[in-house]
Amino acid sequence: MDLIRDVLDNQLVDRHHRKMGKVDGIIIELRDGQPPRLTDLETGATTLARRLHPRLERWIAALEQRWGAKRSEPLRIPWAKVRQVGIDVEVDLEAEQTTALAYEQWLRNHVIRHIPGGR
């Protein structure tokens, strides 16, 4: 498995194959005298923005703290929860119960449902 090619930026799906964002970051723990260890995956707009530019990360974080679901913390998924890595990365979670869909849920409840025909 090639972490950058096969994991980073790939589609993240939950155990029912519901799309829950993409793998925006990979957390690797460096340990003294031992090989580095892959611990978590991260998904969230701030993680993604940081990869483009640190300033963009601050802007996105400020925006997310003020608007909508008011969540700027990325979701960390322990590597142990990863079930399968193909083109998609499947994790053993329930998407709707995580914060990965915070903005999806906020838009659904605050905007989409209030437009006629949206529910």
Question: Element (H or E) spanning 109, and its range?
Answer: helix 102-110
Q: Considering only residues 76, 79, 99, 104, which one is a binding residue for another protein as defined by CB under 8 A?
A: 104
- Measured N-to-C along each axis, helices 54-66 and 45-52 cross at an angle, to the nearest 10 degrees, of 150
Pick from 64, 75, 84: nearest CA to 10: 84
Q: Is 108 in the site for another protein (CB under 8 A)?
A: yes
The encoded tokens of residue 77 equal 């998924």
18 binds another protein (CB under 8 A): yes
Q: How far is the CB of 91 from another protein (least distance, A)?
A: 12
Residue closer to another protein, measured from CB, 30 or 87: 87
CB 108, CB 118: distance < 8 Å: no
Per CB under 8 A, residues contacting another protein are 4-5, 8-12, 18-22, 24, 43, 45, 48, 51-52, 87, 103-105, 107-108, 111-113, 115, 117-119
